[in-house]
Amino acid sequence: MTGRQTRNLILFFIIAFGFTWAFWVPLALADHGYLRLPVSLHTYLTDRNPGAWGPLVAAIIVAFIGSGRRGVLALLSRMVKVRFGAIWYGVAFLLYPAIIGLSGWIAVLRGADLPQSEAFANPITIPIAFVWIFFLGGPLQEEAGWRGTATDTIQDTRIGALGGSIFVGIIWGLWHLPLFFTPRDDIYYNQPIWGLVGSTILLAILLTWVYNNTGKSLFAVMIMHASYNWSNYLFPTLQDDLGGQTYFILMIAVVLAVVWKFGPAHLSRKF
């Protein structure tokens, strides 16, 4: 990694965290009584907080600094790169529903008392939820940053794709830290943060795997990221400790299989 790449990577992290935490931290402080916000601002930050857009904003700025308008267009073109193997569409869309759904089923067999799925109780919401998650639930806001900028830069160093994914997975998890201090219904933020960080590390490895095997298509990993969040809407697996334990066991098994088959250097046979 050149000095210029290092500077751009550091700049990306500073902007991503700075933009996001500028919106998330005040809300967390206000919710704990350490800061008084106007009611209208508090309502806005609670209902329509723009903090999640930090990684995309940072990715666009760094792309412009690095290569100007051409760099931004190259980044955006990867976000709409829809031409890649059909098998990878299947992996991106179906892998996480399979893992999380199977984890829930195994957990029930082990004695877990999982709540009823809200999604299957209202099936009309299932496709709507996927579209909403894709555009507003994380993938569009984050993948150009975590995969398209950070992982893209780090995986070309000596630590390779696996090491780069683990590093980005840790940073990605810690980026969510302020959300653990605001009242939320999301299961991710009502557990210890190490659970989320462990999950983002495993997710990052599998996302890099798909990213590298689809010619660095950000559209592919946006689908996969959306599928992960959507799967947790479909299956309440993580709402029980047995479900969470089973999920981690299956995720680790899948990650180990991917690393063994595709190699840690690139997580792909195309290089």
Distances (CA, A) of 112 to 199, 237, 241: 20, 9, 8
* Region 37-45 average pLDDT: 89
Residue 271 has pLDDT above 60, yes or no: no
What does the alpha-carbon distance between residue 191 and residue 194 come to, in Å, rounded to a whole number? 8
* Distance of alpha carbon 91 from alpha carbon 98, whole angstroms: 10
Q: Which two tokens stand for residue 70?
A: 């051409």
Whether the model pTM is above 0.85? yes
Closest by CA to 132, choosing from 116, 117, 119, is 119
What whole-number distance in Å separates Cα of residue 152 and Cα of residue 63? 12
What local confidence, expressed as pLDDT, does residue 182 receive?
86
Angle at 13 between CA 26 and CA 194, to 5 degrees: 70
pLDDT at 255: 98
Model pLDDT, residue 3 = 81
Tokens 């193997």, residue located: 85
pLDDT band of 2, cuts 50, 70, 90: confident
| Segment 130-179, tens digit of pLDDT | 999 999 999 999 999 999 999 999 998 999 999 999 999 999 999 999 99
Segment 47-69 mean pLDDT = 96
